[in-house]
Structure formats: C-alpha cells, structure tokens
Amino acid sequence: MSDATTPTADRVTVVDHPLAGHLLAGLRDTETEPERFRYLTHRLASVLVLEATRDMQTRAGTVTTPLAPADVRVLDGNLIAVPILRAGLGLLTAVTGLLPDVQVGYVGLERDEETLQPVSYYLKVPPLDDRLVLLLDPMLATGGSASFAANLMRDRGATNLTLVCVVAAPEGIDRLAADHPTLRIVTAGVDERLNEVGYIVPGLGDFGDRLFGTFDGA
C-alpha cells in the first residue's frame, strides 16, 4: 500500500495496492449487479480499513504458544466506526469483520430543500474523546456532507478523524482540507472532477442505489 498524496492535500492516502485497483474496477463497471457490488465493496473496504488503521495504538502483552510464552502487541481498543447513512453501511461490515470489538456510531444526513445544506436527522455515537474515529462514506463528492459530519464528530469530542471512502473528487478533498485540515482521507482513487449535478466523473454512479438495488424509485 502507498501513502501517495494528491497535490491539493497532504493528508490523503490513495491505496494503490493492485487488489484495490482490481476491486475498484469491478465497482465502476455498469454491468456489476448489486449482489456482486456488495461483495466487491466488502473486499475493497477491508483493504481501505487496513490502511486507515495502520497507526492504531497497541499495547504490550504476553501469550502462551504451544512451545513457550511470547511477547506480543495487541490492539488497544480505541477505535470507533461511524458510517454516514445510508451508503456508509456498505463499508461497516468490513470494519466489524476485521475488528469485532469496535464500537459503532451512526449519523444520518439529508439535504434541507430550502437551504440545500446538509442537516442531521439521526445521530448516535459513543464518547469520542481520545479515540480514532473512522467516518465511513463511499463517495467524497462536494465534501459538504463529510465536512458536516466531521463537525458533528468534533462537537462531541473527536480529535482524531479519518474519512474512509471508495472514490474522492478533487473538489471534496479541497473542501475537507479547508474545513478540517487535520482530517485524514483514505481512498481507493481520486477521480477527475464533478459534473454539473455533483456526480463524480468517471466515478461509479450512485453508490447507495447500486449497493442496495434501489433503482428507478425501487
């Protein structure tokens, strides 16, 4: 895995592992059906979460092997995962699969039709002080929702925030760099731009619809 950065932010990690690229290719493909899309999402999220937790705190311990005691390092249990509903749920199972003891919070956002700004309709998180908080949101487009969610986390004591996303747009990276300069972004790809309606290009379409099969109002 690489710590390559974009020119617009020095806290962006693009995971350039060959497996990440292969999985992302499947997610981009318009022919990928929801069942396989969910499978690929889980696999790619696992790769991203491994990178996002590279610097997690550990503590010394001792275990007994079949032959002798062994000095070991074990996780210190200081991680909280917070998916941004609903698409962020697609990344959560990878976190809980890798880290069964993780604590989980949830934030639900929607757009105010008058102001066009994000508002929270649901928020439930454990104490965030002195914890690594993984915000899970597959698509970083304009950055408005991610920035708003990060503000909610900081208002509740979070100081160590990482956004895990599948694809990011330069506009979203710039927004987070301006609003939250200490926030880290871990992603599988930085795409070209946003189109006139705010979709990432080339992107992979509406992640939530493709994940849950909710097309054409279904």
The residue from 59, 111, 155, 159 that is catalytic is 111
* Known catalytic residue at 115: yes
Residue 24 buriedness (CB in 10 A; 0-12 / 13-18 / 19+): buried
The residue from 28, 32, 86, 209 that is catalytic is 209
Q: Which amino acid is at 188?
A: A
Cα gap 143→140, rounded to integer Å: 6
Cα gap 16→133, rounded to integer Å: 23
The residue from 64, 65, 115, 129 that is catalytic is 115
**For residues 88 and 138, is the Cβ–Cβ distance under 8 A?**
yes
Strand-pairing partners, residue 83, are 136
* Known catalytic residue at 111: yes
Residues with catalytic roles:
111, 115, 206, 209
